[in-house]
Structure 1
Amino acid sequence: MTFHGRSDERGQLDLLVADLRQGLSGVLFLQGDAGIGKSALIDHVVTEAADLRVLRLAGIEAEAGFAFAALQRLLVPFQDELKEGGALLPLQQEALKVACGLADGPPADRFLVGLALLAFLADKAKLRPVLCCVDDACLLDRDSLEVFAFVGRRLHAEGVGFVFAARAGFDIPPGLPVVPVPGLAEPHALELLRSVADGPLDPVVGARIVAATGGNPRALSDLGRELSAEHLAGSLALPEPLPVGSRLEEHYRQQVRGLPDATRAWLVLAASEPSGDLHYLARAAHLLGIVADASGPAEDAGMVVLRAAVEFRHPLVRPAVYGGATSVQRRAAHRALANVTDRPDDRDLRAWHLAATVPGRDAAVADEVERAADRAATRGGHAARVTFMTRAAELSPDGGARAGRFLAAAEAAVAAGAPRQADVLLGAVDVGLLSEAGRADSLLVRAGVVDGLGGPDAHARASALCLAAASAFGAQEPGRTRQALLHAAELTFTARQRTPATTAAEIARAVDSLAASGPPTGIDELLRGFTVLAGDSYEQAVPQLRKALTSLLAPDTPDDVVLGGYGLGAWFSTLLWDHDARTALLERADGIARRRGALGHLDAILSCSATAETTLGHLAAAEALEADGRQLRAAMGRPAAEPQHRRNAELLAWRAADNGPREALHRAFEDARTRGDGALESLAHGGVLILALGSGDYATARPVAEELVRPDALGLHSRHLPAVVEVGVRSGDRTLATAALRILAGRATAAGTPWALGLLARSRALLAGAGDAEPLYRGAVDLLSRTSAEADLAVAHLLYGEWLRRRRRRRDARAPLRTALTMFRTMDAGAFAQRAARELAATGAHLTKVPEGAREPLTSQELKIAHLAAQGATNAEIATQMIISASTVDYHLRKVFRKLDVPSRRRLAEALRA
């Protein structure tokens, strides 16, 4: 179609192509009504990018149920290179080959497939920039669309571009820039209408047609050809209503009715064959006795074009043909196509055709469709598995098989990140027809739905469902029983005291009675640690917690066990004040998640790591991890702009310069309690205590502190106890302080780490008499100096300096107070720095101003890349760590070198220390 107008849209496309030529990347999503000119815009950008490597495809409605179908078609030109793998890392190579059906292997995680596609296209773009044009994106299979969207969100400096087009109303994946494509302005619309009209165009008639079509080019072209010269000249009234918009499909249906019988039968075949494969169409037509040249009248009418495959002239022609056929005609077409679809790679297509031949239920066809669902699962196509398995369930005459297949579809929907769809599918499951193991599976799927949908007490309700599933699996399924119990325990730790549906003690009893069956596995030590902690006391549990961590960190522990147990293990190490074990565990889990592309796990690991760094006082590192998490969630198409108080209220409190975040922390409490999220509530507790101790608002913190000395079966409030002691002392409530110290003494002594013992000495010093306090403060400083707990060490210096000043030992107080001030300023802990500065000023010491940096600061992403490069990581290794391409790493490194004024990697470490 010739362009009329569209200067704005073409300008954006031209700019994208220009960026690609400069080695940059970009993505645009064109959206507008059918026929509005999106395909013409894609034609334009393809022509403009003639010197680039252009990959073009369009979504096909009947192909939407096939896993990674569009991805396979996009990469057809690279089949040989895909088999070799090229520059891809082994796991990425395997994932991409499995997704494209080129190899057998474990199901491919869609995010790992996305990382592999990003790396593959970036590698191809080193020779020539690559532009991928995807028309009718609304008709893509969901697995491919998610992969393409993931790549689009991660593009930066690879020389790779994506241009998508989809109809108005399509739910575009989040995070992709949208270019609305409106109708043509009236002058351009009239120009187009005149170009197709058979004779003169009356201005009033033309204006009315333009208004009726909204300037839609396809509708204008259709009407310009369909209306008579008398209509267009104004000598004959226009038909009412004009065949535009929703009436256009009926217009095409009437055109089809005017064609010969053989042509109509051929069109039904073509509309039933998703790929437009001419070979299959010719053979199927022969089976149905349709003459070879039956397509001619449809071509003459401009309804179809036969090139390498059949192409329908307008998106509404196919549904007009298919919808206008009788069910008998459609089934006959699909039966013929099923009989001739015999290529091994088209087994799933054949199964889909077979399914369309059945008016009711058919066990044999249901089995065939289920096998297609299983093949989709082996390639990681969870969305496709949902589609196939749902159809297999609908075809199943046996009630038990039907229930099992609906359950399998719901399970796949949970894995695909679609809990609402899973909820609907679960509603179709007749649980009474399931086997005992099937009923247990249904409980686990329900737990995934509840946890995925969220809502009040979601974690607790999901935990109770996992516990019920474990009981249902029992000794007959020991492996699945353990997994269900582990998930129940993790959810209980997350819910903490917010567990109205079940209790830690109930889970502990279930572990004792159920997990002992069968040979021991890698998660047994974790479950045993939970059991002892919930059933006995913190002090008695310490040896088992250490044993569980040792088992989890053992070199021969399978990656699956580490990835499944890091959450519980991180809690254990936090309870023990064991920074080394926690760091080692989170780093190992992080590495596994990045290698596998398990980005859902990675998001949780980053959040956990940010909290861990905050507890140590490594606030810049915590913020960098939070930034990584936001970027990751954006890449995954999830909301990235979550309020900080919902993820890390303690970091918010440490950064505060005054009592400003008090309202935000109150909201954190309300959010956590509404959602039944005890982990977020604990962070809110910590945030309130930190803010109070920094700003001196002890009255606000006292009620919160009182909550933390109540019975705590899992010892989850242990890390807050030193702050509770100080709040009690500062607020004049020595009873509260003494109660907190008594609990802390037992737990810190049992833990025995320098961090725990240093906090115990610091807390004892606050309540000690004049003659005993100083050696306790000195001991606390000595012990905490051996750890990475910089925040707790800074507080120890501060408390010691304050104690010395209050005893009029001003000169002695200056050194610890100056140390505390320097540490808090380094941390950028505003309120605590002000508190230390006030105390230091009260000793008569002179305060120095904080020097301002002279060089341009690195962004959090640049800083992480710089540190990895300084440690010797290659661009490919950094790309895997950062979930970006190697080309983008190189782009950022060049900016780092400029900002730090260094010529190469060899000087990075020195420059970063400066």
Structure 2
Amino acid sequence: MLTGREVERDMLDRVVEAVQGGHGRVLVVRGEPGVGKTALLDHLADRASRVGCRLVRVAGVQSEMELAFAGLHQLCLPLLHYAEQLAAPQRDALRTAFGLVGGPPPDRFFVGLAVLSLLSAAGGDRPVVCVVDDEQWLDAGSAQVLGFVARRLLADPVGLVFGAREPGAELAGLPELRVDGLQDDQARALLDSALTAPLDGRVRDLLVAEARGNPLALLELPRGLSPEELAGGFGLPGAMPLAGRIEDSFLRQLYALPAPTRRLMLLAAADPSGDPSLVWRAADQLGLPKDAGEPAAGAGLADFGTHVRFRHPLLRSAVYRSAEQPQRRAVHAALAEATDAMVDPDRRAWHRAQAAVGLDERIAVELESSAGRAKARGGLAAAAAFHERAALLTPDPARRASRLLAAARAKLEAGANEAAAQLVEAARVGPLNAREAADLERLRGLIALRQGQNRKAVLALLSAARLLEQFDVDLARETHLEALWNTAMWVGGREDTRRDAALAARAAPSAPQPGRAVDDLLDSMALRFTDGFAVAAPAMTGALHRLVAMDVGSEDAQRLVWYTVCQASCLLAMELSDFEAWQALTARNIRIAREISDVVQMQYWQSHRALFHIHQGELDTAARIYAGYDLRDERTGPMMGVMGGMWLAAWRGDEARAGELIRVLTQESRARDLEVPGSYAMWAGATLYNGRGRYQEARDCARQAFELDVFAVGPMVVPELVEAASRAGDPVLAGVAWEWLSERASVAPTDWAVGMEARGRALLSEGDAAERGYRESIECLDRAGFGAQLARAHLLYGEWLRRQNRRSDARIQLRTSHGLLTVMGAEGFAERARQELAALGEKVRKRSGEIATTLTEQEALIAQLARDGHTNQEIAGRLFLSARTVQYHLRKVFTKLGISSRRELRIALSPAAR
């Protein structure tokens, strides 16, 4: 009857109604153990079945948390016949994850897209309701994928409802239904419905008080009590937590069963696959009678029919936890013997590990094999668990330490940074040989990077690099590059950290085989940090050109060091102001990341591409890329997203948004004792305030960034400093900044460098010299294709011309600038141009009604892709949505734009239509 749950039932009923109406719905049913989540999910399941929905049920099981995609397998198994409708990459990812086919480990995001598409395909035939109970016990891979899917259900007739005690981070931000305890009158009514004998009023009050409205407690606590105890004198142990008291009630009922039945219950609890044939094969191993399950079924505690089920997850937990260790080992041994080594070797190895008495090298070897298979399926968490268990069973101390390192490496790959750190510390006990000691230091550094402890990471990587020099010069140099790049990317030059890393790199042994990208990068960057830009520019330029020209294979791209090479090479291009190389490298890295299905790398390079679009004056395009980045930001930290949004807001003149993100990044930089993010924040602040004509504030921000001397930031921020300082009446500072630009342009004369030097020279000059500088700047930036900076050059030239009282010439430059800045959405700078034109007597309207404010970022991105000829299926693959959701957004786009077909998008999205 679900006493007192009218509101909750109504909310669940609305989920079913929405799914029937063709809409996606997600809900997290949250509450303490026994509060009634499962009963509510049962109600949902019953309602969905009665109205004709397809019902799929999943239950997280604590002992399966280490098995890769175990929960996802439960969900997808009834729907796998729809896999034929999936795009080949999705279909392959799903089959590989489930071990149905071999292949490289599938990317977690492609598995997520495959599950989303699978549910969408199934929903096309009949509305689907998926019920996931005990989400807190799902394996990590399944939880991440289902969280991914949950955020993308919109226009698909699919409902996804979770039951969880405390939802994991994967479900953060999703709609929740909080299930609390019953009111006292409802609790008394429920308690009375469960009683078979009179109950003393004082005992009833005590039970209600102790249960705190928890329905399962109200139903289970009186079970197994004698009539005398129910009549009076009964007291509950107040020191036990509620879940413990419920388990205690289950145990009283369990102890009333015959010994063979209790052992069968323990056997079933030890393997929650629910496979009755496996349970009965194991029961035969233990000599249990065929009718051993009947007393449990008669008591309503368990069902041993077509699927082994316990009345409640807490009952399963109580049965397993109450057994002595020898009893657990015995049932695990029986289950291992009953598991087919050819069909399910990993489950067999896991049971053997649980049955082991003491150390056992043979089982450890089996677990290592299972770890390899789990990793091949993309089950990184499972691989880590197998490695860790193998290490704990290893008798030889040296081999145990080696396996602990392997487990730590697997934990790191799985994203379990704290667990990886603990395993590294355990491995440190050793004994380790010299090479393993070096590997341990490298792992410490990589773990520290993941934990945001960048300075600690650099020191550990430097230590590892020095140790590795005697064993593996190539890996040592790669580690030196990781240390040096991380000082450039995050730490900065304070306290000589960067110089120390550079000196260590220069002291490292020479590369055995010259010409590797790693070595070119390492040598040129180290020279930059020890001898300065002018000395290192030729070496950096040569390294950059070789990086652009090199042929990259997929094997290279999948190595950890390649990620560092890619990031360092793009920073090198920015440091050299070689934006043509930056564009080429970014495009190649996006292509490679897509080919190897590495979404984390793809996001990083797309954020680089978005910044490139900002400099080209394509702010709307950059915004759409950042919108796509946000759609897939499950595995990367928030830092890159904050930076992207901050730069975009600064160029748009959105002071509220930019200011908020600048504060966030500045606080993060201080909390982590890093210079680089703070430098980026000041760069954005300088751009924002220059756009709004607040030059003293712009000067202060730009000066802070300039003084930090962050690698690759100078070419961006120093032009801001020259403009701000010259306008704020600080010619000395402006002169220092221009001399910096002049040196760069003389040794690395790219169009950007020369154009920015000329613009700075014009700001500090008078008469013909100033005019020559402005014209040269416009010519160079136009040739380079950087529309945003070109528009600003026209603006500065127009402002100068007006002050020279050359009103006609000024109008030409200012109109050009205002038109360019308005189309691109650079509102702050456009307003500067508008005010200048107003001073010349021209009335110019502010930008209004543009598509960027009509469509949401996601709608705009989908519209642009559709305009460019991509099908709904292709757009879905790019944005990790279902094709039905893409169609839903396109219908809204058509309505907002007043069009009726994809053919009309090209006109509706053109700048002239704005």
Q: What is the TM-score normalised by the length of structure 2?
A: 0.90
Counterpart of 1:28 in structure 2: which amino acid?
L
Match of 2:3 in 1: 4
Match of 2:818 in 1: 821
Contact 1:263 1:297 in 2 (8 A): yes
Contact 1:213 1:245 in 2 (8 A): no
CA deviation digits over 1:762-814, x for unaligned, max 9? 12222234132222222222222233322322221122122222222223222
1:41 aligned counterpart, secondary structure: helix
Counterpart of 1:62 in structure 2: which amino acid?
S
Contact 2:264 2:283 in 1 (8 A): yes
Aligned length: 901
Q: Does 1:890 align with 2:887?
A: yes
Contact 1:268 1:321 in 2 (8 A): yes
Task: Tell me how far 1:535 sits from its aligned partner.
Answer: 5.1
Q: Does 1:381 align with 2:379?
A: yes
* Unmatched 5+ stretches in structure 2: none
CA deviation digits over 1:799-848, x for unaligned, max 9? 21222222222232222123223333334444433433333333x32222
Match of 1:467 in 2: 462
CA deviation digits over 1:411-451, x for unaligned, max 9? 22222222222222222122652233322322232122212
Match of 1:875 in 2: 872
CA distance in 2, matches of 1:572, 1:246: 60
Match of 2:13 in 1: 14
Task: Tell me how far 1:606 sits from its aligned partner.
Answer: 4.0
**Structure 1 residues 711 and 221, CA, compared in 2 at 3 Å: closer, same or farther?**
closer
Contact 1:198 1:229 in 2 (8 A): no
Task: Tell me how far 1:536 sits from its aligned partner.
Answer: 5.1
**Structure 1 residues 836 and 169, CA, compared in 2 at 3 Å: closer, same or farther?**
closer
Task: Tell me how far 1:223 sits from its aligned partner.
Answer: 4.5
CA distance in 1, matches of 2:817, 2:379: 55
Counterpart of 1:852 in structure 2: which amino acid?
S
Alignment equivalent of 2:328, drawn from 313, 327, 330: 330
Match of 2:565 in 1: 565
2:33 aligned counterpart, secondary structure: coil
Task: Tell me how far 1:862 sits from its aligned partner.
Answer: 0.9
Contact 2:68 2:381 in 1 (8 A): yes
2:131 aligned counterpart, secondary structure: strand
Match of 1:176 in 2: 174
Match of 1:351 in 2: 349
Q: Does 1:735 align with 2:732?
A: yes
Task: Tell me how far 1:711 sits from its aligned partner.
Answer: 9.5
CA distance in 2, matches of 1:528, 1:325: 62
Say which is worse superposed, 431-440 or 11-20, in terms of deviation: 431-440
**Structure 1 residues 764 and 172, CA, compared in 2 at 3 Å: closer, same or farther?**
closer
Counterpart of 2:32 in structure 1: which amino acid?
D
Counterpart of 1:538 in structure 2: which amino acid?
F
Q: What is the TM-score normalised by the length of structure 1?
A: 0.90
Alignment equivalent of 1:368, drawn from 366, 369, 381: 366
**Structure 1 residues 643 and 845, CA, compared in 2 at 3 Å: closer, same or farther?**
farther
Match of 2:318 in 1: 320
Contact 1:709 1:739 in 2 (8 A): no
Task: Tell me how far 1:705 sits from its aligned partner.
Answer: 4.8
Alignment equivalent of 1:113, drawn from 107, 111, 126: 111
Counterpart of 1:286 in structure 2: which amino acid?
D
Match of 2:841 in 1: 845
Report matched runs for 1:121-520 at 5 Å.
121-167=119-165, 173-198=171-196, 206=204, 208-223=206-221, 225-227=223-225, 236-241=232-237, 245-430=243-428, 432-454=430-452, 458-474=453-469, 476-477=471-472, 480-495=475-490, 497-498=492-493, 500=495, 502-504=497-499, 506-507=501-502, 510=505, 513-514=508-509, 516-518=511-513, 520=515
2:57 aligned counterpart, secondary structure: strand
* Unmatched 5+ stretches in structure 1: none
Counterpart of 1:46 in structure 2: which amino acid?
A
Q: Does 1:589 align with 2:586?
A: no
**Structure 1 residues 751 and 32, CA, compared in 2 at 3 Å: closer, same or farther?**
same
Counterpart of 2:611 in structure 1: which amino acid?
T
CA distance in 2, matches of 1:791, 1:422: 45
CA deviation digits over 1:353-389, x for unaligned, max 9? 2112223222222222222222222222121122222
Say which is worse superposed, 96-105 or 512-521, in terms of deviation: 512-521
CA distance in 2, matches of 1:181, 1:710: 55
Counterpart of 2:505 in structure 1: which amino acid?
A
State the percentage of identical aligned residues.
Answer: 38
Say which is worse superposed, 426-435 or 205-214, in terms of deviation: 205-214
CA distance in 1, matches of 2:414, 2:864: 35
**Structure 1 residues 133 and 663, CA, compared in 2 at 3 Å: closer, same or farther?**
closer
**Structure 1 residues 208 and 573, CA, compared in 2 at 3 Å: closer, same or farther?**
same
Q: Does 1:73 align with 2:74?
A: yes
Match of 2:611 in 1: 611
Task: Tell me how far 1:240 sits from its aligned partner.
Answer: 4.2
CA distance in 2, matches of 1:694, 1:719: 15
1:311 aligned counterpart, secondary structure: strand
CA distance in 1, matches of 2:376, 2:731: 62
CA distance in 1, matches of 2:60, 2:660: 49
CA deviation digits over 1:680-735, x for unaligned, max 9? 23322323432443444444454555566669595641332222223342344433
Contact 2:60 2:137 in 1 (8 A): yes
Task: Tell me how far 1:81 sits from its aligned partner.
Answer: 5.5
Contact 1:591 1:881 in 2 (8 A): no
Counterpart of 1:57 in structure 2: which amino acid?
V
CA deviation digits over 1:480-515, x for unaligned, max 9? 345434422431221353454742574476267446
Counterpart of 1:266 in structure 2: which amino acid?
L
CA distance in 2, matches of 1:81, 1:889: 20
Match of 2:33 in 1: 34
Counterpart of 2:391 in structure 1: which amino acid?
A
Match of 2:860 in 1: 863
CA distance in 1, matches of 2:823, 2:376: 51
Task: Tell me how far 1:172 sits from its aligned partner.
Answer: 6.6
Match of 2:623 in 1: 623
Match of 1:57 in 2: 58
Task: Tell me how far 1:285 sits from its aligned partner.
Answer: 2.5
Say which is worse superposed, 594-603 or 12-21, in terms of deviation: 594-603
Say which is worse superposed, 520-529 or 57-66, in terms of deviation: 520-529
Contact 1:154 1:884 in 2 (8 A): yes
CA distance in 1, matches of 2:715, 2:319: 69
Contact 2:680 2:705 in 1 (8 A): no
Q: Does 1:25 align with 2:24?
A: yes
Counterpart of 2:16 in structure 1: which amino acid?
V
Match of 1:680 in 2: 677
Task: Tell me how far 1:136 sits from its aligned partner.
Answer: 1.9
Q: Does 1:780 align with 2:781?
A: no
Counterpart of 1:435 in structure 2: which amino acid?
N
CA distance in 2, matches of 1:663, 1:549: 36
CA distance in 2, matches of 1:58, 1:660: 42
Say which is worse superposed, 7-16 or 653-662, in terms of deviation: 653-662
Task: Tell me how far 1:865 sits from its aligned partner.
Answer: 0.9
Say which is worse superposed, 539-548 or 389-398, in terms of deviation: 539-548
Contact 1:112 1:598 in 2 (8 A): no
CA distance in 1, matches of 2:75, 2:693: 62
Contact 1:471 1:514 in 2 (8 A): no
Contact 1:134 1:163 in 2 (8 A): yes
Match of 1:43 in 2: 42
Contact 1:485 1:511 in 2 (8 A): no
**Structure 1 residues 342 and 666, CA, compared in 2 at 3 Å: closer, same or farther?**
closer
